[in-house]
Amino acid sequence: MARVCALTGKKPVKGHNVSHSNKKTTREFGVNLKVKKIFVPELNKWVTLKLSTTAIKTINKKGAYATIKEAVEKGFLDKSILTPAK
C-alpha cells in the first residue's frame, strides 16, 4: 500500500484549496512518511518500514518491539514480522 504508515495506519485525507473568491477545489493532505530501517533487539533483526513521523516518535518513546506488536494486534502489520531471525 502506497502512502500509508505501517504502524499507525495513517493515510492521506481530502480537503479543499480555497481561493480568494472562495472557490473550492479538491486537494489531498499527504502523510509525512519516511522509510526507516529499525533494529529490534527482541527479534534480533532489522525491519524496514514506511513510517509517519509520529510513529517514529512513538517508537522512540515506547520501543520498537512494543510498537510493532501493537500494530500487529491492530492489523496494520502481518504477524510474520514478529518471527525472530535465525
Q: pLDDT tens, 23-81?
A: 999 999 999 999 999 999 999 999 999 999 999 999 999 999 999 999 999 999 999 99
Query: pTM value?
Result: 0.83
Confidence at residue 2, expressed as pLDDT on a 0 to 100 scale: 84
Rounded Cα gap, residues 42 and 23, in angstroms: 54
Rounded Cα gap, residues 10 and 66, in angstroms: 18
Confidence at residue 1, expressed as pLDDT on a 0 to 100 scale: 56
Dihedral sign computed on CA atoms, order 67, 69, 70, 75? positive
